[in-house]
Amino acid sequence: MLTSRVRTGVPVDLLHRTATLLLITASVYLSIHSETQAHSADQPRLPNFVIIFADDLGYADLNCFGSSYPDTPNLDQMAREGRRFTSFCVAQAVCSASRTALLTGCYPNRVGILGALGPGNTHGIHADEMTIAEVLKPQGYATAIYGKWHLGHHPQFLPTRHGFDEYFGLPYSNDMWPRHPTAKFPDLPLIEGERTVELNPDQTKLTTSYTERALKFIEANRDRPFFLYVPHAMPHVPLFVSDKYAGKSSRGIYGDVIREIDWSVGQILQTLKRLKIDENTLVIFTSDNGPWLSYGPHGGSALPLREGKGTAWEGGVREPCVMRWSGKIPPGTECAELAATIDLLPTLAGLAGADLPTRKLDGLDIRSLILGESPVKSPHEAYWYYWGDALHAIRSGPWKLHFPHPYVHVDVPGQAGLPGKLVQLRTPLALYNLEQDLSEANDVSAQHPEIVAHLTALAELARDDLGDSLQKRIGKNIRPAGQLTSATGANSK
């Protein structure tokens, strides 16, 4: 008997067997796929991280931190929805050192980057140091930075060589350009990736450009974990603001600039909410150091803190900090415990389940402080206040001990965007209780010799570890910065 055939010439029984096989295969695939989906659903998605870093912002420049000017409605709303940190410190009160500490979790002395690197510097972050981006990459994170880098401007030091997928911004401070009133600088490069795309860019567009890039990055990576770093160029002098915010503040151009930064924060928060990923995103806002008081109305305010940028007084190193994570951080709360930028790398690594660098870190995990979980207590027994390679002060709990050291004080503030008159002062050994004397105005060392002795002993640990040029001590555990291995700078367009 001949086998029945259809017009294709294929036997009917073969078609039946093939169809049956396809149905079985599809059933098995759907079963496996359903199990895989169920397994994936059981695995919580890793959190996203956004760090917004202002430049030279004062402790009292936000309304939610004491400013009388209504220029920060979005940051104030962020504080109502999140947590204010009122004792949040940077590692040093100057650009490169502060940013190095944030990204590496180390005191800048440990990794050899001090001060503010400029166009003439031939060193930067060492290839063996790991940034937050490099720590998160093995966990599948997309990473980007839009803004000021300042850890070295030669290609080997740029963000794309240190864990960031994308980079767009200035390699150092916005005043390091030909129009600087007292110094001679080359053309200021705007870099994308590792390529200079513009020289001496229109700085009124920077805040908007960084924000627009940040929003596109969030959109593009909405379905995967990401780390977004937005270190604004402002409000570092010279001040620039877009037309949409020029003249909108009652405190002049400085207030205009703050309003635009606040707008940027609002855009990022609104985008996270619109994409329904705000409950999986920790957003951190703070600054690299205190206000540049020398510039008078073009600088901010650190009141009631003492001094500002360039000093180890609280006005130089204590920054306004707001963190928001919907559903995780208790809204409308405050943390007065000591926390610092060096703590962010180990904390984000812990939240992402990432391995820490094998090299020594100084930061500690502050998840309990962020989430308001017990124990809500700073993990730092002591915190060191260095200026350059000199140990200026130490803090433990509420106590802060200043060792004798020189510092620069603004005698006459500048006007019209020009620096004022500076004088060098010197502080003697002095002890302050920051819980009772936030302004560091009343030396109580004579009343508490036992506290002075205890902090002095703790300071010896810092000097042994990180050194102290005031005592001509070299630290045993410091590492060198990276050195330029090629004579070429960033590629031109």
Pairing of strands 83-89, 318-324: antiparallel
- The pTM is what? 0.89
Per-residue model confidence (pLDDT) at position 487: 52
Asked if pLDDT for residue 338 goes beyond 70, the answer is: yes
Domain ranges of the chain: 48-381, 386-474
What pLDDT band is residue 50 in, cutting at 50, 70 and 90? Answer: very high
Residue 59 and residue 305 in contact, taking contact as beta carbons nearer than 8 Å:
yes
Top pLDDT among 377 and 493 is at: 377
Percent with pLDDT over 90 in the chain: 86
Q: 48-381, which class in CATH?
A: alpha beta
Q: Which fold has domain 386-474?
A: Arylsulfatase, C-terminal domain (3.30.1120)
The verdict on whether 335 is a catalytic residue reads no
Summarize the confidence of residues 231-242 as an average pLDDT: 97
Summarize the confidence of residues 106-129 as an average pLDDT: 96
Summarize the confidence of residues 317-328 as an average pLDDT: 97
Per-residue model confidence (pLDDT) at position 375: 77
Instruction: State how far the Cα of 341 lies from the Cα of 204, in Å rounded to an integer.
Output: 28
pLDDT for 347-360, tens place per residue? Answer: 999 999 999 999 99
Average pLDDT, the chain: 91
Q: Residue 324 is inside which H or E element, if any?
A: strand 318-324
Among 247-251, 327-331, 395-399, 458-462, the range scoring the smallest mean pLDDT is 247-251
pLDDT for 342-388, tens place per residue? Answer: 999 999 999 999 999 999 999 999 999 999 988 789 999 999 999 99
Of 89, 106, 126, 150, catalytic:
150
Nearest one of 400, 376, 403 to 305, comparing CA atoms: 400
Per-residue model confidence (pLDDT) at position 42: 52
Top pLDDT among 60 and 487 is at: 60
Summarize the confidence of residues 206-211 as an average pLDDT: 98
Per-residue model confidence (pLDDT) at position 417: 85
Residues 6+ apart with CB under 8 A from 12: 3, 4, 5, 6
The verdict on whether 123 is a catalytic residue reads no
Asked if pLDDT for residue 476 goes beyond 80, the answer is: yes
- Burial bucket for residue 433 (CB in 10 Å: 0-12, 13-18, 19+): middle
Q: Residue 48 is inside which H or E element, if any?
A: strand 48-54
Task: Check residue 414 and give left, alpha or beta (phi > 0: left; psi -120 to 50: alpha).
Answer: beta
Per-residue model confidence (pLDDT) at position 416: 82
Top pLDDT among 493 and 452 is at: 452
Residue 481 and residue 113 in contact, taking contact as beta carbons nearer than 8 Å:
yes
Dihedrals φ, ψ of 190, to 5°? -105, 120
Of 89, 95, 321, 335, catalytic:
95
Instruction: State how far the Cα of 164 lies from the Cα of 277, in Å rounded to an integer.
Output: 21
Task: Check residue 375 and give left, alpha or beta (phi > 0: left; psi -120 to 50: alpha).
Answer: beta
pLDDT for 248-279, tens place per residue? Answer: 998 999 999 999 999 999 999 999 999 999 99
Q: Report CA-CA distances (Å) from 269 to 49, 163, 276.
A: 12, 24, 11
What pLDDT band is residue 120 in, cutting at 50, 70 and 90? Answer: very high
Summarize the confidence of residues 146-171 as an average pLDDT: 98
Asked if pLDDT for residue 164 goes beyond 60, the answer is: yes
What pLDDT band is residue 182 in, cutting at 50, 70 and 90? Answer: confident
